[in-house]
Each structure stands twice: as C-alpha cells, then as structure tokens.
A and B are shown apart, each in its own frame.
Chain A
C-alpha cells in the first residue's frame, strides 16, 4: 500500500471565468486528519504527547484544544499557572505565524522582497520559548511538572517586543492609530515589509479586495458544534461546517478583531483590514504574553484519572478557531474528531469563495494570482493548487 503524497494543507481550487469575471469557484474537499485511526486505543496522556508531532504546523493550538477536550471529558480543572502557560505558548505561536506571514509569504505574493531576518526571527521566537519552558511535551502536557526559566523568559519577551515594534511596525504602535489616514501614512513611509505590503495594496487599489458578506465568528453554540461533530460519520459537518443558524462564518484575525476601532473604520473588510487585524493581534499578543508571564509559576506533576467522558476543546490558532472532540473510556481514547478553521474559511459559502466571486479578472493568470492573495490573506498555512476553467 503506497501512502498518498505529503499532505501539508494542500487545497485544490477551480476558478470559472466568464466575461472577464470570476463567475464560479469550486473548492475540493481535502483529506481530513485520520485522528481517530491514529489515537484510538491509546492512553490519553500518550495521545496528547503524540499530537505536537502530528500537527507540526500549529502544534500548540492543536494541543491546547485537545487538552481542553481531555480535561472536559475527565472533569479536570487546570490550575491557573498551567492555564497561563498554555496562553503564553498559544500567543507566541500565533505571533510567530503572523510575523512569518508579514515578513515572508505575504510580501512575496505582492512581488515585494521578503524580510528574511524577520522570518528567521519569527521561527526562533517559537522554538526558543518551548525550550525555555522545558520542551513542548513537558510544557503543554496534562500532567507533567513545569520549571520555567524566568530570566531566560524575560529576555525572550524582549526579543518578541523587538520583533513586533521594530521589525513589523518600524517603531509605530498600531494601537495608537485612530484612523485609516494614520495607517495609510504609516504604509506610505514603508519602513517595514508589512508597511510596504499595505502600501502596495493601496497603490493597486486593492484595499477592499476580497471583502465578503460572511459574518465573523463570535460566540458559537458549543453544544451545536459538539452534537454535529458527534453525529458526523461521513464527515459532512467536519468538511462543510455551519453554525446553529446554518451559516458559514469567517474565523481568524479579522473575525477576532472586527470590533477594534481601526477595523471599524474600514468601510469594507478586505485585504487592508485583514493585514491590519494581524498587526493588531501582534500588538495585543505582547500585552497578553507579559500578563501570562507574570502569572507563570512552577507546576507539579499530577495524575490523570482513568475515567470515561466526552469533551469539546477549543483554541484560537493564528488562522482561526479550532475544535477537538474527544471520547474517553477508562482513560483511553475511544474517538477523536477535529474541526479546523480551514473548513470555515474555504467553505463554498465562506470568505475565500464569496470574496472572489464577481471580481474582474482579465485572464486566468490574473484570476489565479487573486485567488492566491485571497488565500494567503485568510490562511497562510493553506497551499492552493489552482486551476482555471
């Protein structure tokens, strides 16, 4: 049996052009992670230790959602210092992902030179934190003791501040911007790759590019998600999710920041708003990580009860909200299901498709470029294979 090709989030998309416009978009379902096959029958602690190895692109967010599900199933309440630890790791992962996008693949999509040093710094930010906390498995696990290196962590936070304030923002605080004119002025100065990306979007008249009428994901009915994931033998819900009102929603930075004063001033929420939302999240992450570090303390090892139960866990990954649903029997995994943000954002009625439908494109090459930019703006971790019919 030959396994399929490596599946790093590749999504196949077919664009239909007619009369110089994108008239139709087909998004082909991608294979879902075979989590139940991989984890069924394992002790929950073993399954949780395996997850970061399976989801190496956003291992913290996946682990945080999984831990939440396992704790809910077993009726455990994590201590505040363990919650602070997870918050810190999750924010650092999101910041690292945003910084990589704003330094590397974002500018490349616009034909701009990348900030290679910034991209490397974003990668080091994530890897150095996990080692300061004792490695991912130790730091994130359900039961392991944690011994944070306080002095090392203070230095790490300083590097994170430098990456955001200087590397991404060029000495300007996005939180102090009160109007789009201020954001435009910052972009025109072009001190960083993020600023030059926004400048290029404005110069091409694409500040509103990719805006859609899809509602942002706010509070969702967790019972609805749990029920639908639980009765989903054919994975219809996991591949085409909807909320309790049968709507597809947008998830990710723009949805999380849609009530931020600067985003509220964006008349249409397209490319510029998505880029600003990422920068706002980077700034917020610094404040929240500072608070989490203050709460961080040593955690002693604890036992996991071998119980039965069902739990739903949730985490906000850089690209959007992630759900894990776990069923345990005598402390072993009986079933494990996942709902990823990609399935909302790349839904046939989601922001990727509805943000592109009806846009002018003079030929297939331009349509494909537009789809790549829209895909990157929504989720830099999804590689698109685009064909134009």
Chain B
C-alpha cells in the first residue's frame, strides 16, 4: 500500500529526525530537506528508505491521521 501517513517530529539530531505516528516511533533522515526546513513539532511524510520527503501542515496531518485510523480499524474488523 503506497500510502504515507503524516508523522510528528519529536526530536532532531545530526540530520536525523525521531518521528511518531500511531504510537510508533522511528528514525528518518533529513538528507532530502533543506537546512532548517523541518522543526520539532512539524508533521512530515516519510518515503521508503526512511527519508523525510515533505512537511505537511498540522491541520491536514491530523485530519489525515484520523481518517486513516478509522479506515484501517474498519478494514481490520
């Protein structure tokens, strides 16, 4: 499934971001992003390979997360 659910940036250190989505924390590289483009508290999309690919506005990110959570829960039940 080639969907990407926005993840929140919890910390940034040495070009790597610690991100969280649905309670799962992961590390993602900021190599593709410009200096200072991503900040703690931002919502980002992560591509396969673990690269942050895009910053998403908070409102869109939260509504997308809510929609996906509901759909995935329905699909699993």
Contacts and interface: CB of A to CB of B under 8 A. Distances in A.
Contacts of A53: 60, 64
B72 A34 contact: yes
A105 B75 CA distance: 32
A114 B29 CA distance: 13
Interface in B20-53: 21-24, 26, 31-34, 45-51, 53
Contact of B22 (A4, A33, A56, A108): A4
Nearest to A38: B71
A328 B12 CA distance: 45
Interface stretch (A6-14, A144-152, A161-169, A194-202): A6-14
A127 interface: yes
B49 A105 contact: yes
A33 B3 contact: yes
B48 A7 contact: no
A33 B1 contact: yes
Contacts of B46: 6, 8
Contacts of B72: 3-4, 7, 31, 34
A30 B3 CA distance: 12
27 contacts: A1-B73, A1-B76, A2-B22, A3-B72, A3-B73, A6-B22, A6-B24, A6-B26, A7-B5, A8-B4, A9-B1, A31-B75, A37-B75, A38-B68, A54-B64, A54-B68, A56-B4, A57-B2, A57-B53, A62-B2, A100-B32, A104-B51, A105-B51, A119-B32, A120-B33, A382-B48, A383-B50
Interface of A: 1-10, 30-34, 37-38, 50, 53-58, 62, 100, 104-105, 108, 114, 116, 119-120, 123, 127, 340, 342, 380-383
Counting from the closest, the 3 A-B pairs by CB-CB distance are A383-B48, A34-B75, A34-B71
Given A8-B5, A38-B68, 20 more contacts: A3-B68, A4-B72, A6-B4, A6-B21, A7-B3, A7-B72, A38-B67, A54-B67, A54-B68, A56-B45, A57-B48, A100-B32, A104-B31, A104-B32, A104-B51, A120-B33, A123-B54, A381-B48, A382-B48, A383-B50
